């Protein structure tokens, strides 16, 4: 039996050769010829919890570019994808890979706020045109804003502000917040409190659950004993789905209204089924928005991917749209940075979500819509707030 | 004992270092950054190997210290000015080291898998501290706006902003860390760590405070990981709570195992290989380039895309192949081709031929000793006196409490009641290493030597127990005394010189038992507690060892448990008979042989047969 | 009902669920000495399996009846392909290999089921709940799951203590070679135990799937908490895992209410405390 | 000559890189009691473990009651009628005495159970008294009885006894030998390894001596007693 494990010298040499070949690859990149396509780096999650969001954003961007004949501002677009796995601890190297390794001309990313923070740091130092298609960390367009960084999604507080206002409008006076106690949850509650308290509402208790814990029962029992009129909750993805189901199973949906930002129901409408009925959310997008851009976008997207787009796809779509505006202004020459940034900063266009423009700190100013989840559909109720912008606290651009 | 790296290993390491030195001349910015990161990871994983491979502590929370080191740079950096690395580095190591001291003082109480889980728990608590609260930016992490510099007054020596300079600094840091650890594990301190890895009970019984040693290695590893973490934070100035989390800890373990634990350089290679493979598998362009070696460009691009999309499957398969094909990691693979390790030459010391003078050994007095396990009383009110320079046998049927009795004497078990006096000093209830330091050495029923060490190294370890401070980092202190003690012990226990430099695992059973006695002699113990030293020996070996025991009693007191009646009746000066935890009889062999009660309870026909 | 009582109930319910997930792990670890990091992946695959099967069968209990044998079979295959090479290796290599399995299973999950969250319907006859306070009701399905967990725990203890299979399992825990020498093929024993571990993890995933939502990565927290339970209870002890899980469940529920700021550390602090007091866990032999 | 109970031919077994058994050939006739003598480290235990299937020989052939079992696992050999009472006894500490005994209770090839539980308890009344105790609560002697009893309950045709009296008090040792005598008298073949030469010589039909992995003597007790030089050289008495 001692013979079995013996590896011959020749085997070893072969392996060593293969190893050397592999080792050489990360650094053996083909030289980039002049007039080559515009390299756009996509730092997005293609695996892990947020993979679905990364795919939706990428699909919409791809669709936009295809509709423009594969070109933006006259330049052929070449995507360079890096899977950021939504891991902040890997964010620095994943961003470096695009910025310094692939030497991309434009950087687009990402979903996870922590990863986006790391990405923004590197992008800011490199002065690279950077668009954020989802991550909501307030700091990105507040204290850490930069002239090369644009966000096309939202700031975490924005949906909260809209939801708080809508709750006051709906006559709600007492509420409990029950959210994941991490940055995004806290910032969402911050926005909510701002408008809800301003409107005379009273927050009975703020309950936090450590992210990404999904054992909601303890908090639900507490809510039942506090008996508020409504609950404001920030959860997303699988956690949000489980939350709505637990909420309904505990019978709370019959007595205490459940409110939240759009992420509470986005992507899980169908899965929530009956449990989701009656959940009200404030979002910058509703599937049924009655505008030409939205109708066309939904039809085209469905034709291309056999599935209807969600809010993340809209954000991806607007990201490419914004980039397109900038590139057109400089004729595809990204070295004219000042002009590029100026054009993007001043861009105003009609998005599937409605009118879209940017604030001084380059965060969207857009409408928020009140939606109610009914039998697997987020049904448009009304416009909750128009032209919602996020404070530019600490931003040097403002 | 961990040998110096073989020539082939040195060649590999030098080649890698040369590559790193040359990299700034041809590599791009990303290559530099990549290499820098791998080197920093290298420091991190070799610090973990000090725990896993050397001390045998598998920490699943090592990233705690890496992360703390990273955050320490954030804490010490002014908002818009560089931190001084002369301060930042000691601060990182101090912070990580201090936390390691606190966590370690609790964690090293546990062993094996439980240690894995306790360290995981502390790591996760550290993660929560940064993730769930707003210390240092909370969930979304924090920025270090300006990279540190080395400055003296206004004189700037080295700016981490300069990628090439930073790379060279990290290379130097890695080389120094490696050499430091290599030196450390070969010092008396490091030898004890390795001894603990393979046989903690033995080391404790020799008089080493294994708790202190384990804690010291935990703190050193933590501080070094803190240093690595601080460097990591300096790469791009971003720190996130996940740096402290279990995924990072797990990844580091992965690299250590992939590279080969316990070799120090192996984990380094593991870090390099893992990083390169992951990097390659995640990159569609690199994969396409690789596939284009075999197929046309379109197919290559398509294949590259598919593989990069599902990169974790090939990565998983690579890891599985690695585990199955190279059980000892990359280092084991390299060492297959490196030939046998060269062991350091034995010292040229002739044991002084002068006859050992009769030295008065120690006497041991036991009074009314009780040891209970729950309701079961294993030792029940035994009083007996073992006078100095004699061979005392303990006999009795199985389950009579003999081994428990010895375990209580040596401190391995606490007495439930009664007194134990060594030279009139009470030692009952003291920890084993304290008892051992007072001159009481013991051997075990099952052979209990450090198998990967040679016989001489085993004895050297034992001799070191004469001065068992955990702070012994130099070979030169007490060198001569110890070397002499080793040679004397090897000679006295009858281990042939040509067998002294063979790994204990390759010695015969009898030789291992002799080695065990040699270790006791080398440790300077004056009273030897031997648990069945003759078990498993043939008649010839038995004869030799009983003669050895007689000889040793010239300057030792010997207490032994034995079942070989012929041998013990011949060798012992006194015999103590235990039955069901009680002292049945104590006296000279002749008295015991004639004792009716003993014959009834234990000896049966044997006594009569053997009676002349 | 009193709020504290309700929280206690929540804790017990959560603990029972964790027990279900941890029981297979403690069995595989205790008897085979294999640290199986991919245990969480089997939980995840169980949940996805429930998703697919329930689409066909329409009832979670049919899915259970179909899914558990499938999982067992899957366990047999995985053991044969990978795990059997690990028995004589040290823990670190087991960690490495089973970690690699996680990477593979996660990707397979993504390819087969995509990355959007899904939910598995609670069967019609178990919808609704018992009213336990003015606003709060306790879902029937949770009660059913709790009962199922208790029944399974009792069944496992019975099998282990009173049956021939249980005798062999216990014997294998202490001396595999002797089991072999007495005429029982230990390869088959280990294959059986591993497959049983996989089946238990999948059972947990299936039963929990209507409570959970089914999404990528649900196995990860389950894995960590299961290890915590195994360690607190003492490696290899079903009884220990049961009590450990209840302890963890209650500590977690009460921690969330009374120490919200430290609630994510409560479980770990509890484990560290138990291990310092009893280094071998509640029912374990000291390592 | 009838089919041997066990037949080993030209067995070579390695332990890591050391060559432990060097071409050992060995037979035991049905019902025969054979002692296996030799100093420590000469390969006695290795031979027993190889015969039992617990070690894989690099080459050689093993037959059990005429059937080739070279490729068979230990479990298959056990079911074919071979039982081992190993060094260290191999008691399951977390099973009770009764559970240990019935663990592998089975009938032999003819469907007979010559050693039912009652007979074991009659043989070792101590075990009957302690039937509900855990394996780890037994004394060494009781463990030895249990190990022998457990082996008998597999209805073996051949038993391998490795150091059955090691660590036992002289009085107990005599008891064990008396039992072993009863067992071998019942027609079960046995290979016995032990240090007590005189006890073995009294018990065995045939004696073998191993040295350095080879069998250097094979003969009757009288022949061995007569050759003092041989005894001295290989057994060191």
What average pLDDT does chain B have? 85
Q: Angle at the Cα of B565 (from B562 to B567), degrees rounded to 5? A: 80
Whether residues D40 and B510 touch (CB distance < 8 A) is answered with: yes
How far is C-alpha B572 from the geometric centre of its chain's CA atoms?
A: 37
Rounded to a whole number, what is the distance in Å from the CA of A263 to chain B's nearest CA? Answer: 18
**Residue pLDDT, tens place only, B389-436:** 889 999 887 667 888 888 898 888 888 888 898 888 888 888 888 888
Rounded to a whole number, what is the distance in Å from the CA of A382 to chain B's nearest CA? Answer: 33
How far apart CA D165 and CA C286 sit, in angstroms, is: 30
Least confident of A356-360, B222-226, B266-270, D167-171: D167-171
Judge whether D128 is closer than 8 Å to chain B, CB to CB: no
| Contact residues, chain A, for D16 at CB < 8 Å | 2
In a domain, C88, yes or no: yes
What is residue B356's predicted lDDT score, i.e. its pLDDT?
A: 46
The answer on B230 and B166 residing in a single domain is: yes
Q: What is the number of other CB atoms lying within 10 angstroms of the CB of residue B470?
A: 19
How far apart CA D143 and CA C178 sit, in angstroms, is: 14
Judge whether C228 is closer than 8 Å to chain B, CB to CB: yes
Chain B: residue nearest C284 by CA?
B114
pLDDT of A5 > 50? The answer is no
Q: What are phi and psi of D19, to 5 degrees?
A: -85, 105
Nearest Cα neighbor of B280 from A97, A23, D55 is A23
Query: Which residue did the predictor score with more confidence, A6 or B327?
Result: B327
What is residue B316's predicted lDDT score, i.e. its pLDDT?
A: 92
Domains in chain D: how many in total? 1
pLDDT of B94 > 80? The answer is yes
Query: D83 - beta bridge partners?
Result: D159
Per the CB < 8 A criterion, the answer to whether A388 and A161 are in contact is: yes
| Contact residues, chain B, for D139 at CB < 8 Å | 397-399
Judge whether A20 is closer than 8 Å to chain B, CB to CB: no
C-alpha dist (Å) from residue A173 to A164, A167, A199, A200, A229:
11, 8, 9, 7, 7
Q: Which residues contact B11 (CB under 8 A, 6 or more apart)?
A: none
What is residue A26's predicted lDDT score, i.e. its pLDDT?
A: 47
Q: Which residues contact D223 (CB under 8 A, 6 or more apart)?
A: none
pLDDT of A12 > 60? The answer is no
**Residue pLDDT, tens place only, D117-151:** 999 999 999 899 998 999 888 887 889 999 999 99
Secondary structure (3-state) at A6? coil
| Contact residues, chain C, for B129 at CB < 8 Å | 265
What is residue B40's predicted lDDT score, i.e. its pLDDT?
A: 96
C-alpha dist (Å) from residue A81 to A41, B535, D183:
6, 68, 76
**Residue recorded with tokens 């309700």:** C6
pLDDT tier for residue A159 given thresholds of 50, 70 and 90: very high
Which residue segment(s) compose the domain that B484 sits in? 453-469+476-525
Q: What is the number of other CB atoms lying within 10 angstroms of the CB of residue C121?
A: 18
DSSP result, D179-217: HHHHHHHTT-EEEEE-S-HHHHHHH-SEEEEEETTEEEE
Domains in chain B: how many in total? 4
pLDDT of B26 > 70? The answer is yes
User: Which residues in chain A (217-246) have CB-CB distances under 8 A to chain B?
Assistant: none
**Residue pLDDT, tens place only, A183-217:** 889 999 999 999 999 999 999 999 988 888 888 98
What is residue A2's predicted lDDT score, i.e. its pLDDT?
A: 44
Please, which chains are in contact with D (at least 3 CB pairs closer than 8 A)? A, B, C
Q: Is A249 left (phi over 0), alpha (psi -120 to 50) or beta?
A: alpha
Candidate from B141, B247, B325 with C-beta closest to A117: B141
The CATH class for the domain spanning A157-283 reads alpha beta
Chain B: residue nearest D163 by CA?
B536
What is residue A31's predicted lDDT score, i.e. its pLDDT?
A: 40
Please, which chains are in contact with B (at least 3 CB pairs closer than 8 A)? A, C, D
What is residue A4's predicted lDDT score, i.e. its pLDDT?
A: 40
How far apart CA B144 and CA B470 sit, in angstroms, is: 38
Least confident of A169-173, A340-344, B187-191: B187-191
What is residue B358's predicted lDDT score, i.e. its pLDDT?
A: 53
**Residue pLDDT, tens place only, B329-365:** 888 888 887 765 555 555 555 544 444 445 677 888 8
Whether residues C264 and A213 touch (CB distance < 8 A) is answered with: yes
Chain B: residue nearest C86 by CA?
B324
Rounded to a whole number, what is the distance in Å from the CA of D101 to chain C's nearest CA? Answer: 11
Query: Which residue did the predictor score with more confidence, A49 or B381?
Result: B381
Nearest Cα neighbor of A50 from A312, A384, A258, A352 is A312
What is residue A28's predicted lDDT score, i.e. its pLDDT?
A: 44
Q: Angle at the Cα of D55 (from C178 to D96), degrees rounded to 5? A: 5
The answer on B141 and B212 residing in a single domain is: yes
Whether residues B396 and D168 touch (CB distance < 8 A) is answered with: no
How far apart CA A142 and CA A149 sit, in angstroms, is: 11
In a domain, C140, yes or no: yes
pLDDT of D50 > 90? The answer is yes
C-alpha dist (Å) from residue A326 to A35, A63, B127, B129:
19, 18, 41, 42
What average pLDDT does chain A have? 88
Which stretches of chain D are assigned E, i.e. beta strand? 6-15, 18-28, 33-37, 59-64, 67-68, 82-85, 158-162, 189-193, 206-211, 214-219
Per the CB < 8 A criterion, the answer to whether B485 and B443 are in contact is: no
Whether residues D73 and C185 touch (CB distance < 8 A) is answered with: yes
Which residue segment(s) compose the domain that C147 sits in? 2-277
Calculate mean pLDDT across residues B68-89. Answer: 90
| Contact residues, chain A, for B130 at CB < 8 Å | none
Candidate from B398, B508, B565 with C-beta closest to D140: B398
In a domain, B13, yes or no: no
Q: Is D148 left (phi over 0), alpha (psi -120 to 50) or beta?
A: alpha
Burial grade of D218 (CB within 10 A; 0-12, 13-18, 19 or more) = middle
Whether residues A1 and D17 touch (CB distance < 8 A) is answered with: no
Rounded to a whole number, what is the distance in Å from the CA of C273 to chain B's nearest CA? Answer: 9
H or E stretch at B392: strand B391-395
Note the residue count of chain C: 287
How far apart CA C98 and CA B319 sit, in angstroms, is: 10
Chain D contact residues (CB < 8 Å to A): 14, 16-17, 56, 58
User: Which residues in chain A (218-257) have CB-CB distances under 8 A to chain D?
Assistant: none
Whether residues D170 and B396 touch (CB distance < 8 A) is answered with: no
How far apart CA C168 and CA C186 sit, in angstroms, is: 9
What average pLDDT does chain D have? 88
Calculate mean pLDDT across residues D40-66. Answer: 89
In a domain, C282, yes or no: no
What is residue B475's predicted lDDT score, i.e. its pLDDT?
A: 66
**Residue pLDDT, tens place only, B560-578:** 888 777 788 888 899 998 8
| Contact residues, chain A, for B138 at CB < 8 Å | 182-183, 186
Judge whether C174 is closer than 8 Å to chain A, CB to CB: no
**Residue pLDDT, tens place only, A261-283:** 998 998 888 888 888 999 999 99
Instruction: Please tell me chain C's helix, strand, coil percentages from 3-state DSSP, rounded to the nearest 5.
Output: 75, 5, 20
How far apart CA C208 and CA C121 sit, in angstroms, is: 11
**Residue pLDDT, tens place only, A108-119:** 988 998 899 999
Per the CB < 8 A criterion, the answer to whether A203 and A172 are in contact is: no
Query: Which residue did the predictor score with more confidence, D12 or D1?
Result: D12
Judge whether C107 is closer than 8 Å to chain D, CB to CB: no
Q: Angle at the Cα of C192 (from C188 to C197), degrees rounded to 5? A: 150
Whether residues A2 and D16 touch (CB distance < 8 A) is answered with: yes
Chain D: residue nearest B604 by CA?
D171
| Contact residues, chain C, for D79 at CB < 8 Å | 183
DSSP result, A161-207: HHHHHHHHHTT--EEEEEEESSHHHHHHHHHHHHHHHHTT-EEEEEE
Q: What are phi and psi of A380, to 5 degrees?
A: -65, 130
The answer on B65 and B41 residing in a single domain is: yes
pLDDT of A18 > 60? The answer is no
Secondary structure (3-state) at A41? strand
Whether residues A92 and B290 touch (CB distance < 8 A) is answered with: no
Whether residues C215 and A241 touch (CB distance < 8 A) is answered with: yes
| Contact residues, chain A, for B311 at CB < 8 Å | 83
What is residue A34's predicted lDDT score, i.e. its pLDDT?
A: 42
Whether residues C136 and A251 touch (CB distance < 8 A) is answered with: yes
Per the CB < 8 A criterion, the answer to whether C67 and B282 are in contact is: no
**Residue pLDDT, tens place only, A25-43:** 444 444 444 457 899 999 9
pLDDT of A46 > 70? The answer is yes
In a domain, B507, yes or no: yes
User: Which residues in chain A (268-287) have CB-CB distances under 8 A to chain C?
Assistant: 268, 271-273, 275
Whether residues C116 and A267 touch (CB distance < 8 A) is answered with: yes
Judge whether C80 is closer than 8 Å to chain B, CB to CB: no
The answer on B254 and B315 residing in a single domain is: no
Whether residues B282 and A87 touch (CB distance < 8 A) is answered with: no
Per the CB < 8 A criterion, the answer to whether D58 and A1 are in contact is: yes
According to the CATH classification, is domain A38-154+288-358 in 3.40.50.2300? yes
Query: A203 - beta bridge partners?
Result: A175
Rounded to a whole number, what is the distance in Å from the CA of D140 to chain B's nearest CA? Answer: 5
In a domain, B77, yes or no: yes
What is residue A134's predicted lDDT score, i.e. its pLDDT?
A: 92
What is residue A257's predicted lDDT score, i.e. its pLDDT?
A: 95
Helix axis angle for C39-57 and C219-233, nearest 10°, is 120
How far is C-alpha B306 from the geometric centre of its chain's CA atoms?
A: 45
CATH code, domain carrying D60: 3.40.50.300
Which stretches of B165-305 are assigned E, i.e. beta strand? 238-239
| Contact residues, chain B, for A9 at CB < 8 Å | 337
- Select from A178, A249, A275, A276 the residue whose CB has the most chain C CBs within 10 Å, as the one to mutate to test that interface: A249
The answer on B60 and B207 residing in a single domain is: yes
Whether residues C174 and D73 touch (CB distance < 8 A) is answered with: no
Judge whether A83 is closer than 8 Å to chain B, CB to CB: yes
Ranges of residues in chain C whose predicted pLDDT is under 50: 286-287
Domains in chain C: how many in total? 1
Q: What is the number of other CB atoms lying within 10 angstroms of the CB of residue D178?
A: 10
In a domain, D1, yes or no: no
Rounded to a whole number, what is the distance in Å from the CA of B334 to chain D's nearest CA? Answer: 20
Whether residues C170 and D75 touch (CB distance < 8 A) is answered with: no
Query: Which residue did the predictor score with more confidence, B162 or C75?
Result: C75
Query: Which residue did the predictor score with more confidence, D236 or A136?
Result: A136
How far apart CA B567 and CA B211 sit, in angstroms, is: 38
Q: What is the number of other CB atoms lying within 10 angstroms of the CB of residue A36?
A: 12
Rounded to a whole number, what is the distance in Å from the CA of B577 to chain D's nearest CA? Answer: 12
Q: How is residue A134 written in tokens?
A: 């989802």
């Amino acid at each position: 039996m001692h013979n079995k494990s013996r590896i011959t010298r020749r085997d070893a040499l072969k392996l060593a050769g293969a190893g050397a070949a592999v080792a050489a690859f990360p650094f053996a990149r083909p030289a980039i010829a002049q007039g080559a396509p515009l390299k756009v780096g996509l730092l997005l999650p293609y695996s892990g919890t947020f993979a679905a969001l990364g795919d939706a954003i990428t699909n919409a961007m791809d669709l936009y570019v295809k509709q423009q004949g594969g070109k933006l501002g006259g330049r052929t677009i070449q995507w360079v994808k890096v899977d950021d796995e939504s891991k902040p601890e890997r964010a620095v190297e994943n961003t470096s890979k695009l910025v310094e390794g692939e030497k991309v001309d434009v950087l687009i990313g990402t979903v996870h706020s922590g990863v986006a923070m790391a990405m923004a740091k590197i992008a800011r130092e490199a002065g690279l045109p950077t668009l954020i298609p989802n991550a909501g960390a307030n700091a990105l367009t507040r204290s850490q804003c930069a002239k090369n960084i644009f966000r096309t999604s939202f700031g975490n507080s924005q949906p909260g502000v809209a939801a708080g206002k809508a709750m006051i409008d709906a006559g709600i006076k007492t509420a409990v917040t029950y959210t994941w106690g991490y940055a995004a949850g806290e910032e969402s509650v911050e926005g909510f409190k701002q408008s809800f308290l301003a409107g005379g509402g009273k927050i009975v208790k703020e309950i936090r659950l450590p992210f990404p814990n999904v054992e909601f029962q303890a908090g639900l029992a507490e809510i039942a004993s506090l008996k508020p009129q409504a609950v404001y909750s920030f959860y997303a993805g699988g956690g949000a789905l489980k939350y709505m189901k637990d909420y309904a199973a505990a019978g709370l949906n019959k007595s205490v209204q459940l409110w939240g930002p759009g992420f509470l129901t986005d992507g899980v409408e169908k899965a929530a089924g009956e449990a989701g009925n009656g959940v009200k959310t404030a979002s910058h997008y509703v599937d049924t928005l009655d505008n030409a851009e939205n109708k066309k976008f939904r039809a085209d997207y469905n034709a291309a991917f056999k599935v209807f787009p969600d809010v993340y796809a809209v954000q991806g779509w607007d990201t490419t749209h914004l980039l397109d505006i900038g590139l057109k202004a400089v004729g595809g020459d990204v070295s004219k940075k000042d002009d590029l940034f100026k054009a993007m900063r001043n861009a105003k266009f009609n998005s599937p979500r409605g009118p879209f423009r940017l604030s001084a700190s380059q965060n969207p100013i857009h409408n928020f819509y009140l939606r109610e989840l009914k039998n697997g559909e987020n049904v448009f109720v009304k416009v909750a707030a128009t032209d919602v912008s996020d404070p530019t606290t600490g931003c040097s651009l403002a | 004992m961990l040998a110096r790296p073989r020539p082939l290993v040195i060649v590999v390491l030098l080649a890698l270092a040369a590559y790193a030195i040359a990299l700034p001349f041809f590599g791009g910015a990303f290559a530099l950054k990549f290499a820098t990161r791998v080197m920093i990871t290298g420091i991190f994983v070799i610090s973990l190997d000090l725990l896993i491979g050397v001390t045998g502590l598998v920490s699943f929370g090592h990233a705690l210290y890496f992360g703390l080191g990273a955050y320490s740079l954030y804490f010490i950096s002014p908002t818009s000015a560089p931190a001084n690395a002369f301060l930042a580095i000691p601060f990182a190591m101090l912070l990580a080291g201090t936390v390691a001291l606190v966590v370690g003082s609790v964690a090293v109480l546990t062993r094996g898998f439980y240690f894995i889980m306790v360290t995981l728990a502390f790591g996760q608590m550290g993660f929560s501290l940064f993730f769930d609260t707003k210390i240092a930016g909370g969930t979304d992490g924090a920025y270090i706006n300006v990279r540190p510099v080395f400055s003296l007054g206004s004189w700037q020596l080295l700016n981490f902003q300069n990628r090439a300079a930073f790379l060279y600094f990290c290379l130097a840091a890695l080389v120094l860390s490696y050499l430091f650890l290599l030196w450390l594990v070969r010092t008396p301190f490091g030898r004890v760590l390795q001894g603990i890895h393979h046989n903690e009970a033995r080391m404790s019984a020799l008089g080493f405070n294994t708790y202190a040693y384990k804690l010291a290695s935990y703190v050193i590893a933590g501080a070094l990981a803190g240093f690595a973490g601080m460097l990591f934070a300096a790469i791009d100035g971003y720190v996130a709570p996940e740096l402290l989390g279990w995924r990072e800890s797990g990844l580091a373990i992965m690299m250590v195992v992939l590279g080969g634990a316990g070799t120090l350089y192996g984990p380094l290679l593991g870090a390099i290989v893992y990083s390169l493979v992951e990097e390659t598998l995640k990159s569609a362009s690199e994969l396409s380039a690789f596939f284009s070696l075999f197929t046309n460009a379109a197919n290559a691009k398509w294949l590259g895309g598919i593989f990069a999309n599902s990169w974790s499957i090939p990565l998983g398969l690579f890891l599985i192949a690695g585990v199955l094909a190279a059980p000892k990691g990359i280092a084991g693979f390299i060492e297959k081709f490196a030939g046998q390790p060269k062991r350091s030459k034995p010292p040229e010391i002739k044991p002084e031929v002068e006859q050992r003078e009769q030295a008065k050994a120690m006497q041991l007095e036991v009074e009314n000793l009780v040891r209970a396990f729950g309701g079961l009383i294993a030792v029940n009110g035994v009083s007996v006196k073992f006078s100095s320079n004699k061979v005392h046998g303990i006999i009795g049927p199985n389950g009579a409490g003999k081994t428990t009795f010895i375990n209580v004497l040596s401190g391995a078990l606490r007495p439930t009641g009664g007194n134990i006096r060594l030279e009139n000093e009470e030692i009952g209830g003291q920890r084993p290493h304290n008892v051992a330091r007072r001159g009481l050495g013991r051997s075990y029923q099952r052979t209990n030597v450090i198998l990967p060490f040679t016989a001489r190294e085993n004895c050297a370890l034992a001799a070191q127990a004469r001065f068992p401070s955990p702070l012994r980092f130099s070979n030169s202190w007490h060198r001569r005394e110890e070397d002499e003690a080793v040679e004397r012990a090897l000679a006295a226990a009858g281990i042939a010189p040509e067998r002294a430099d063979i790994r204990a695992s390759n010695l015969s059973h009898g030789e291992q038992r002799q080695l065990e006695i040699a270790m006791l002699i080398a440790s300077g113990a004056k009273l030897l507690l031997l648990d069945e030293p003759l078990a498993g020996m043939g008649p010839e070996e038995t004869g030799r060892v009983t003669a050895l025991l007689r000889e040793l009693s010239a300057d030792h007191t010997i207490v032994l448990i034995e079942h070989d009646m012929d041998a013990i009746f011949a060798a012992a000066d006194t015999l103590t008979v235990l039955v069901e935890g009680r002292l049945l009889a104590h006296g000279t062999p002749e008295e015991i042989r004639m004792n009716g009660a003993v014959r009834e309870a234990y000896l049966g026909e044997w006594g009569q047969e053997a009676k002349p | 009902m009193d709020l504290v009582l309700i929280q206690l109930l929540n804790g017990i319910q959560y603990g029972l669920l964790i027990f279900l997930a941890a029981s297979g792990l403690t069995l595989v670890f205790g008897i085979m000495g294999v640290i199986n990091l991919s245990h969480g992946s089997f939980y995840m695959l169980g949940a996805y399996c429930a998703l697919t099967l329930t689409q066909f069968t329409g009832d979670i209990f049919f899915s259970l009846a179909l899914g558990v044998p499938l999982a067992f079979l899957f366990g047999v295959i995985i053991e044969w392909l990978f795990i059997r090479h690990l028995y004589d290796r040290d823990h670190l290599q087991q960690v490495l290999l089973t970690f690699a399995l996680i990477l593979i299973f996660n990707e397979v999950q993504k390819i087969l089921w995509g990355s959007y969250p899904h939910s598995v319907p609670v069967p019609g006859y178990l919808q609704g709940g018992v009213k336990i306070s003015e606003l709060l009701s306790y879902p029937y399905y949770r009660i059913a799951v709790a009962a199922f967990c208790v029944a399974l725990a009792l069944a496992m203890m019975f099998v282990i203590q009173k049956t021939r299979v249980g005798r062999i399992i216990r014997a294998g825990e202490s001396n595999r070679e002797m089991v072999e020498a007495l005429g029982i093929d230990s390869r088959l024993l280990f294959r059986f135990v591993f497959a049983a571990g996989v089946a238990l993890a999948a059972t947990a995933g299936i039963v929990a799937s209507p409570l959970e939502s089914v999404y990528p990565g649900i196995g990860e927290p389950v894995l960590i908490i299961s290890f915590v339970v195994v360690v607190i209870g003492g490696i290899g002890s079903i009884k220990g895992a049961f009590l450990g899980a209840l302890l963890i469940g209650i500590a977690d529920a009460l921690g969330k209410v009374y120490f919200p700021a430290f609630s994510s550390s409560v479980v770990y602090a509890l484990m560290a405390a138990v291990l310092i007091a009893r280094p071998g866990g509640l029912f374990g032999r000291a390592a | 000559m009838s089919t041997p109970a066990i037949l080993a031919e030209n067995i070579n077994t390695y332990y890591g890189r050391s060559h432990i058994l060097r071409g050992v050939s060995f037979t035991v006739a049905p019902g025969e009691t054979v002692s296996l003598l030799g100093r420590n480290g000469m390969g006695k235990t290795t031979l027993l473990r190889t015969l039992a299937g617990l070690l894989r020989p690099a080459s050689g052939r093993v037959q059990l009651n005429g059937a080739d079992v070279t490729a068979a696992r230990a479990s298959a050999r056990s079911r074919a009628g071979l039982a081992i009472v190993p060094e260290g006894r191999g008691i399951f500490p977390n099973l009770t005495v009764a559970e240990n005994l019935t663990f592998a209770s089975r009938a032999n090839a003819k469907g007979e159970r010559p050693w039912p539980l009652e007979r074991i308890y009659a043989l070792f009344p101590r075990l009957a008294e302690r039937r509900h105790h855990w394996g780890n609560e037994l004394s060494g002697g009781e463990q030895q009885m249990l190990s022998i009893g457990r082996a008998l309950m597999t209805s073996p045709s051949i038993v391998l006894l490795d150091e059955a009296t090691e660590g036992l008090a002289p009085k107990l040792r005599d008891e064990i030998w008396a039992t072993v005598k009863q067992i071998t008298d019942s027609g079960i073949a046995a290979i016995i390894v032990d240090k007590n030469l005189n006890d073995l010589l009294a018990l065995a039909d045939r004696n073998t001596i191993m040295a350095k992995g080879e069998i250097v003597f094979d003969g009757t007790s009288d022949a061995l007693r007569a050759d003092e030089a041989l005894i001295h050289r290989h057994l060191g008495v």
